[in-house]
Structure 1
Amino acid sequence: MALVATNGIRLEVHEHGTGPAVLLLHGFPGTSYSWRHQIGPLADAGYRAVAVDLRGYGASDRPEAAYHDSSVIEADLIGVLDALGIERAHVVGQDFGSMYAWNLAQQHPDRVRSVLGTVPHGGEPGPVAPSVGFAAVAARHFLHLHYFQEQGLAERDLGGPHLAEFLRRLIWALSAGGDLLSVFGHPSAGTSYLDALPPTPPLPWSWLAQDELDTITSSFAAGGPGRELAGGLQAYRAADADWALARQRAGTPIGQPSLLVMGEHDPVRSFAPPDLEQQRTWLTGLQDVVLVPQAGHFVQQEQPAAFNDVLLRWLSR
């Protein structure tokens, strides 16, 4: 691991192996540790695995900011590739990392060989800013997207002594065994995200041990009081800025070979179902949509063998 200077900050980067580079981009809640089951197999298969703690996460810098739009992340990542002497990389993203992967491929096609995401491409932006839609939904029931917009609220409710419980509940809710959609059954007024998330079964789960959850929790706690969730909250609070950016960039398709790999039980499928032909409107190089059985939102962690098989077969093309 190493701290790499890029775009005015330092990002922690974990590298293993030699050969064609595979840039691994995590989401929320996650860090480079989210790819612990992929780094070794990629290296063994003859690839250079590069997993990054994005700004605001893990051991990377956490600049004070209300938000950062995805163009900032793109500049961070191009700086990492430059610093490591990587001309072109295969890019693999999970959750927010998928959005960054799609955007990097669109805006820097000369640096991206292929792109794999676990969340569908968002398509052309609509005429209304996301925060307006979030508020309308939150008038009916709890919506985490709206809840995260208020500065200081989630920091108070979910950080400090609440951090470990929040992460455990959120990770379970997003998994194949959880029920994230149940949070929408709560009213918005007076409800924190921790209140809305259901309790979890005791650890270990079939795919996550206590020591692994402890490692994840420690990586967030490293930010210090009020900064534990900085990376994720800044990303959520960039919704309107990312929408405006997407409107400027509309009409530029992503032509590199691409693949969408989702957990069969990923709750994202409930409100963003992947339609192959529709996705090909924006991902003109899209080869397929693969659903991994018995996996939820953390497909590469919940079913690592199945995910790695898909990933390595994809890269070998």
Structure 2
Amino acid sequence: MGRLPVEEQPLTSLAHRPENSPADGHIRRRTVHANGLDFPILEAGNGPLVLCLHGFPDHARSWISFIDRLAREGYRAVAPALRGYWVGGAAPDGSYRASATGQDVLALIEALGADSADLIGHDLGARAAYAAASLDPVRVRKLVGLAVPYGKGLRTALVADGDQQRRSWYMFFFQTRMAEMAVQHNDFAFLDRLWREWSPGYVLPPADRSALNETFGQPGVLTQALAYYRQLFTPPSEPETQALEVRASGPITVPSLYLHGTDDGCMSTQLSEGMEAMFTNGFDRVVMPGVGHFLHLEQPDAVLSHVLRFLKC
């Protein structure tokens, strides 16, 4: 990622930083209260609101270059931390399910003073974006998903597809009690392995690796991040949450774009085949050759070009 006019500071400490407002195109750091949480956000520009949602093992900082460039294109671009990804950010209701993160996205749109927003989600951030669009399509203008498809394809593959089961070994390992110890061992070498396997053509710069490790090294953050996966295979027991999860996984009625790299070592490109059946108001799928899981970092110019063309049409 290019160096931008923003102080080097781990995202996990942003909650203690005073709000500031440098010129457009610069990164603003502050917190926004929404859905019972004080979300640290990175923000740039003025104009139509675009939310950029990170995944795992990642954090909002990875969007810095992207939101700066969106701001230069006339957007107000915001990258929030997902619930659980900062000290004090544990889910108030204990939920890290898709419906909970989707509700966070909708609450953030309102808290940021907008009636609606475009959503760009990567990995778990894509899941949050899909859920938000399913729960309240009025608040979502357009939707972009990166690297994690929508629909029943992934769940089916985890049961019946040996190749995807191999790719998703980490999900199963995270169900164990030793996961926290293993992930933290040897300066988070576990996370380095995931990045290498998922994006074999990309090397995370040392400064960004250090910042990422600092995020997951903060008290409670790693366990909270693993909770997303620990709740993945267990249906909720509360009837209200069950109903909400059903709503959050329904057909999507907003114009949508999906990007997936052919060299993604986490999610097979084949999982996104046929997902257009879940989109009822326009859907485009772009498969990018030679690109891995973190495609917005590996090929930022190409990804941004696809995204801008879609948002502006």
TM-score interval for Structure 1 and Structure 2 normalised by the shorter chain: 0.7 to 0.9
Q: Of residues 157, 176, 181 in structure 1, which corresponds to 2:182?
A: 157
| Over 6 Å off, 4+ runs | 139-142
Question: Which residue of structure 1 lines up, in the alignment, with residue 193 of structure 2?
Answer: 169
SS state of the match for residue 152, structure 2?
Answer: coil
Query: Does the alignment pair 1:230 with 2:248?
Result: no
Provide closer, same or farther for how the CA distance between residues 263 and 31 of structure 1 changes in structure 2, counting only shifts above 3 A: same
Gap regions ≥5 residues in structure 2:
1-28, 237-241
Query: How does 1:149-298 map onto structure 2 within 5 Å?
Result: 149-150=175-176, 152-159=177-184, 161-177=185-201, 207-222=203-218, 224=219, 227-241=220-234, 248-249=246-247, 252-270=250-268, 272-275=270-273, 278-298=274-294
Provide closer, same or farther for how the CA distance between residues 69 and 140 of structure 1 changes in structure 2, counting only shifts above 3 A: closer
Q: Of residues 174, 188, 204 in structure 2, which corresponds to 1:148?
A: 174
SS state of the match for residue 194, structure 2?
Answer: helix
Q: RCO higher in 1 or 2 (8 Å CA, sep ≥ 6)?
A: 1
Q: Give me the CA root mean square deviation.
A: 3.1
Q: Counterparts of 1:72 and 1:153 in 2: how far apart (Å)? A: 26
Provide closer, same or farther for how the CA distance between residues 63 and 149 of structure 1 changes in structure 2, counting only shifts above 3 A: same
Offset of 1:42 from its aligned partner? 0.2
Provide closer, same or farther for how the CA distance between residues 158 and 35 of structure 1 changes in structure 2, counting only shifts above 3 A: same
Provide closer, same or farther for how the CA distance between residues 44 and 9 of structure 1 changes in structure 2, counting only shifts above 3 A: same
Provide closer, same or farther for how the CA distance between residues 28 and 231 of structure 1 changes in structure 2, counting only shifts above 3 A: farther
1:218-252, Cα deviation, whole Å (9 max, x unpaired): 12212x2xx24234311101213568568733884
Q: TM-score, normalised by structure 2?
A: 0.78
Offset of 1:264 from its aligned partner? 2.1
1:196-235, Cα deviation, whole Å (9 max, x unpaired): xxxxxxxxxx55311111111112212x2xx242343111
Percent identity at matched positions?
Answer: 32
Whether contact under 8 Å (2:259, 2:288) holds in the other structure is: yes
1:235 is matched by which residue type in structure 2? Answer: Y
Gap regions ≥5 residues in structure 1:
178-205
Whether contact under 8 Å (1:57, 1:230) holds in the other structure is: no
Whether contact under 8 Å (1:11, 1:59) holds in the other structure is: no
Whether contact under 8 Å (1:13, 1:50) holds in the other structure is: yes
Q: Counterparts of 2:71 and 2:92 in 1: how far apart (Å)? A: 35
Q: Counterparts of 1:142 and 1:176 in 2: how far apart (Å)? A: 16
Provide closer, same or farther for how the CA distance between residues 241 and 105 of structure 1 changes in structure 2, counting only shifts above 3 A: farther
Q: Counterparts of 1:207 and 1:143 in 2: how far apart (Å)? A: 22
Whether contact under 8 Å (2:153, 2:271) holds in the other structure is: no
Question: Which residue of structure 1 lines up, in the alignment, with residue 11 of structure 2?
Answer: none
Offset of 1:154 from its aligned partner? 0.8
